Amino acid sequence: MKQILSLILLCGLCIAAAPENSKVSFSGTAFDYRNGSFIYTENNEVRLENNTIKEISTRYKDSKGNLIAERTLTYNGDPTKPNLLLKDFRIGYIEGVSQIGNNKIKVFYRDNFKSELKEKYLDISEPFVIDAGLNAYFRQNWSKLKNGETLKFLFIAPAKLDYFTFRVQSMGVVKVGNRDGLKLKMELNNFFLRTMLDPMIAVYSLDDQTILSYEGVSNIVSESGVNYKVKINYDKVKQ
C-alpha cells in the first residue's frame, strides 16, 4: 500500500547528558531488505532547548552523496505529535502534517512536480502518533511493552489523507551487535489491510531505549514512486 505511513524510525534519543540548549546528531544507513544493496544514508540533526527536542532535520543522500530528500519535524509540546514536512527533490513528492489544536490536524501531500497539492482536515481521538513521535510513544509505554502488552494507537498517513489503527507488541530480547535490545513488531490492526503491508520490526536498546535497527517500508520512494523496503542500522548519538 503506497505511502500508508511515513515511517523511517528516528533514534529514541537519550539526551539527559546533553547541554540544555545544544545540537546532537546521528545517522543511519538504509539497505535493500531483499538483496542488501545500499540505498541511502540519513543524517539527522536534533536541536534541543532545555533538554527538550524542538526540531529534527533529516537529510537523505544517495550513493553519490547527492541530496535526494529532506524531512523537518518541529515539536511544540507533545513529543508524540511533531509537525511534519517531507520533500523529495528528485520527483517533487511532498507530504506533511500540521496540528491545528483540539485533536484536529491538517494532512497534505503532492505526488510529483506536476501534481496538485491535496489536503484534508482530520478530527482524531487519542492515542494518536505523528511520524517519529512513535519513538516517544514507545518510551512512554516501555514498561507495558517489556511486560508483553499489545498496544493500539492511531498513526497518521498524510499520503492517504487519513489515519490507521496500528498495534505493537514485543517479540522478546535480541542481540544487535554487542547490545541487548527489545524487538518490537508493528502492524496494521485491521486483518485485511495487514495483508497489504508487511510488519515493521524495530529493535530498541534495553539500556537507553535508543533505536538499534529497523526493517520495513521506508518513507523514501524510488524514482519510479515505489516505497523502498529497507533495513536500517543506526549509529550512536553524537553530541
Instruction: Tell me the DSSP string of 57-71.
Output: EEEEE-TT--EEEEE
Cell matching residue 63: 550513493
Residue 8's pLDDT is 35
pLDDT digits (tens, 9 = 90+) for 142-154: 999 999 999 999 9
Place of cell 543506526: 234
- Distance from C-alpha of 78 to C-alpha of 89, rounded to nearest angstrom: 29
Is the pLDDT at 2 greater than 60? The verdict is no
- Distance from C-alpha of 211 to C-alpha of 12, rounded to nearest angstrom: 6
pLDDT digits (tens, 9 = 90+) for 135-193: 899 999 999 999 999 999 999 999 999 999 999 999 999 998 888 999 999 999 998 88
Nearest to 77 by CA among 106, 54, 44: 54
Judge if the upstream peptide bond of residue 127 is cis by omega within 30 degrees of 0.
yes
Task: Report if pTM > 0.75.
Answer: yes
Where residue 173 falls (left for φ over 0; alpha for ψ -120 to 50; beta otherwise) is beta
Cell matching residue 8: 523511517
Q: Is 80 helix (H, G, I), strand (E, B) or coil?
A: coil
Nearest to 233 by CA among 172, 168, 176, 175: 176
Confidence of residue 236 (pLDDT cuts 50, 70, 90): low
Mean per-residue pLDDT, 217-233: 87
Tell me the helices (H) and strands (E) count for the chain, helix number first.
3, 15
Nearest to 181 by CA among 210, 142, 215: 210
| 8-22, 38-52, 62-76, 205-219, range with the lowest pLDDT | 8-22
Q: Is the dihedral of CA 132, 134, 135, 136 positive or negative?
A: positive
Confidence of residue 21 (pLDDT cuts 50, 70, 90): low
Is the pLDDT at 11 greater than 80? The verdict is no
